[in-house]
């Protein structure tokens, strides 16, 4: 290994640091990039993602907005329509509900409604997921909702490297991109290449190859699935783990190719099980030739049919964990489903 490669291999950042680095690189390179959001300036963001960016780029480019999600997101849309590249941070993804109008009716549809004459290169960052004890209005996983909206791109990085690369890819993209960041991953460390690079939008990544079953997961569920897969390996069950990375566009080809080899599919996600990512992926398999390769019914593992509860034991029980993924994968491998 030469010196440069060694240096690269050792370069480790947290997921939050990787996102911050991407924003700094973009802001250095392009004066039209601005940050907007609640308490992203001197407070550094609710999860300390923007941290010191206001010191480096000033309050004119790192703008604290009033608590006005509909207006704030809409201002970002209008600015994107007319030459700026705003990155708008929702303090929690749950608050995107207050801005649905601007995201869904405006940002997603403007290019189409105006016959391709307009472009809305806005990026929305959304801290999401459960596991923090913040209960029903601060713990949701709503990424699948936006998968239903043509015009949006919806990403879900699981590693620091992808968190940086996806944000830079989103900024380079001429259309609105929503990036769901998992709160429990912010402190996770991992290798992050220096400098500017992009992670392709719409490409899944095979994180573990295996021959007995395919587990498709996103965000934090990738790590839980990988841990479950290691445990299963000890008993001779060889699971393949695919990191979905992008919900819209979705990389059907990587999933179908895997299912053709393993004959078993399980989809793991933190959103409520019903009407979720699992339904989309299962249907895609059922509609394709990969269906003929299935040796067992498809299995979906999602959140309980309830809001996220406060009590920590209930909260843990309400979303897939390593144990429940392991148990479900074992049942699938043994065809006990």
Partner 1 sequence: MAAPDNRPFAIRTYPPDRLREALKRMHLIRRFEEGAEDSYMRGLIHGTMHLSIGQEASAMATCMELTDSDKITSTHRGHGHCIAKGADVGRMFAEFFGKETGYCHGRGGSMHIADVKTGNLGANGIVGGGLPIAVGAALSARRLGRPDVTVCFFGDGANNEGAFHEALNMASVWKLPVVFVCENNGYGMSTSTARSTAVRQVADRAVAYAMPGVTVDGNDFSAVAEAVHIAIARARAGDGPSLVENVTYRWRGHSKSDRNRYRSKEEIEEWMTRDPIARFQAELIAHGVLDQAGADAILAAAIADVEAGIAFAKASPAPNVSEVTRYVYAEK
Ligand X SMILES: Cc1ncc(C[n+]2csc(CCOP(=O)(O)OP(=O)(O)O)c2C)c(N)n1
> Given its phi and psi angles, is residue 47 left (phi above 0), alpha (psi -120 to 50 degrees) or beta?
alpha
Rounded to whole angstroms, how far apart are CA atoms 230 and 211? 14
Structural contact between residues 166 and 19, judged by C-beta atoms closer than 8 angstroms:
no
Catalytic residue among 138, 143, 270, 315: 138
Candidates 14, 50, 65, 91; binder of ligand X (CB under 6 A) is 91
Rounded to whole angstroms, how far apart are CA atoms 324 and 322? 6
Least separation, in Å, of the C-beta of 67 and partner 1?
4
Main-chain dihedrals φ then ψ at residue 2, nearest 5 degrees: -75, 170
138 an active-site residue? yes
User: What is residue 234's three-state secondary structure?
Assistant: coil
Residue 105 as a binder of partner 1 (CB under 8 A): the answer is: no
Candidates 38, 161, 162, 326; binder of partner 1 (CB under 8 A) is 38
- What would the two tokens of residue 180 be? 């769901």
Residue 270 as a binder of partner 1 (CB under 8 A): the answer is: no
Q: Which is nearer to ligand X, 138 or 300 (CB)?
A: 138
5 an active-site residue? no
Candidates 69, 212, 270, 326; binder of ligand X (CB under 6 A) is 69
Count interface residues toward partner 1 (CB under 8 A).
36
Show the binding pattern over residues 212-251: x = contacts ligand X (CB under 6 A), - = does not: ----------------------------------------
Rounded to whole angstroms, how far apart are CA atoms 71 and 77? 10
Closest CA relative to residue 120, chosen from 173, 60, 199, 163? 173
Residue with tokens 């993602």: 49
Structural contact between residues 113 and 246, judged by C-beta atoms closer than 8 angstroms:
no
Residue with tokens 């991407």: 22
Candidates 21, 22, 44, 271; binder of partner 1 (CB under 8 A) is 44
Q: Which is nearer to ligand X, 97 or 257 (CB)?
A: 97
Residue 15 as a binder of ligand X (CB under 6 A): the answer is: no
User: Under the rule (CB under 8 A), what is the footprint of partner 1?
Assistant: 38-39, 41-44, 46, 64, 66-71, 94-95, 98, 132-138, 304-307, 309-314, 317-318
The residues assigned a catalytic role are: 69, 138
């Amino acid at each position: 290994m030469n010196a440069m490669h060694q240096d690269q291999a050792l370069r480790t950042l947290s997921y939050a640091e990787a996102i911050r680095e991407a924003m700094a690189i973009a802001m250095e390179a392009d004066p039209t990039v601005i940050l907007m959001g609640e308490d992203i300036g001197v407070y550094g963001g609710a999860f300390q993602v923007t941290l010191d960016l206001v010191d480096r780029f000033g309050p004119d480019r790192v703008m604290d907005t009033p608590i006005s999600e509909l207006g704030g997101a809409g201002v970002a849309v209008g600015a994107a329509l007319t030459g700026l590249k705003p990155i708008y941070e929702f303090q929690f993804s749950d608050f995107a509900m207050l801005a649905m109008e601007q995201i869904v009716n405006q940002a997603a549809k403007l290019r189409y409604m105006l016959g391709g004459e307009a472009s809305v290169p806005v990026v929305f960052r959304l801290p999401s997921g459960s596991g923090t004890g913040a209960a029903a209005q601060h713990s949701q996983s709503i990424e699948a909702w936006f998968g239903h909206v043509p015009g949006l791109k919806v990403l879900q990085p699981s590693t620091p490297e992808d968190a940086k690369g996806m944000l830079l890819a989103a900024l380079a993209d001429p259309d609105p991109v929503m990036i769901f960041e998992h709160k429990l991953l912010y402190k996770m460390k991992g290798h992050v290449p220096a400098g500017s690079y992009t992670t392709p939008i719409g490409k899944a990544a095979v994180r573990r190859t295996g021959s007995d079953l395919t587990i498709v997961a996103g965000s934090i569920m990738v790590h839980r699935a990988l841990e479950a897969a290691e445990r299963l390996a000890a008993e001779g069950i060889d699971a393949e783990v695919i990191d979905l990375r992008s919900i819209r566009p979705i990389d059907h080809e990587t999933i179908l190719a895997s299912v053709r080899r393993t004959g078993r599919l399980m989809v793991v996600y933190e959103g409520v099980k019903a009407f979720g990512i699992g339904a989309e992926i299962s249907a895609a398999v059922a509609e394709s030739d990969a269906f003929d390769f299935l040796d067992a019914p498809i299995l979906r593992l999602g959140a309980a049919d309830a809001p996220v509860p406060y009590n920590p034991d209930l909260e843990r029980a309400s979303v897939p964990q390593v144990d429940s993924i392991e148990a479900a994968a074992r049942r699938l491998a043994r065809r006990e489903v």
